[in-house]
């Protein structure tokens, strides 16, 4: 009736605390791609809660991440993902042959106010949209959230 699960690409976003960048990226991908891409996020040393400035910045974009919780990075999560996108976790991510690894160099929003998190959020959205275009080369494109740019 629907696409087979094997046909659905899967993406894992990883940062150290799974409290900011990886949470925002996972939320954008889930929001923009819907159920067409399996989305996971994790951290090598998860924080106790998602960064409040990241929660506020995402709320401005119309996405509620307030109920999300940081998750620990597991070998199983990496093994189950087609694409692993790291964001400053260095060598702590396990590497498996046959996986696609990307490292997104992004400022760390930890300890920053929402004003500093906004440009990080916008860059993550831009990169996620590019990732969707790569993984889902079909005519169905995600709709814009908010036009926050000039």
Q: Distance between CA atoms of 126 and 22, rounded to whole angstroms?
A: 14
Q: Which of 93, 114, 124, 132 is catalytic?
A: 93
The alpha carbon dihedral of 83, 86, 91, 93 has a sign of negative
Q: Distance between CA atoms of 40 and 31, rounded to whole angstroms?
A: 13
Q: Distance between CA atoms of 83 and 131, rounded to whole angstroms?
A: 10
CB 28 within 8 A of CB 104: no
Catalytic-residue membership of 89:
yes
Q: Which of 11, 12, 14, 15 is catalytic?
A: 15
> Which stretch of DSSP H or E encloses residue 24?
helix 21-33
Catalytic-residue membership of 93:
yes
The pair of three-digit structure tokens given for residue 80, joined into one six-digit string = 């189950």
Could you count the other beta carbons within 10 Å of the beta carbon of residue 128? 27
Q: Which of 50, 89, 114, 135 is catalytic?
A: 89
Catalytic-residue membership of 100:
no
Q: Which residues participate in catalysis according to the annotation? A: 15, 89, 93
């Amino acid at each position: 009736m629907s696409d087979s699960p094997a046909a659905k690409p899967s993406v894992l976003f990883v940062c150290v605390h799974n409290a900011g960048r990886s949470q925002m990226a996972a939320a954008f991908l889930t929001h923009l791609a819907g159920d067409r891409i399996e989305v996971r996020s994790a951290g090598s040393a998860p924080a106790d809660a998602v960064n409040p400035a990241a929660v506020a910045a995402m709320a401005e974009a119309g996405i509620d991440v307030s109920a999300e919780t940081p998750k620990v990075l597991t070998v199983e999560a990496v093994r189950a993902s087609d694409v692993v996108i790291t964001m400053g976790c260095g060598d702590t991510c396990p590497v498996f042959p046959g996986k696609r690894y990307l490292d997104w160099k992004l400022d760390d929003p930890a300890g920053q106010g929402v004003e500093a998190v906004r440009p990080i959020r916008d860059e993550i959205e831009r990169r996620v949209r590019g990732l969707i275009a790569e993984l889902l080369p079909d005519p169905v494109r995600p709709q814009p959230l908010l036009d926050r740019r000039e």
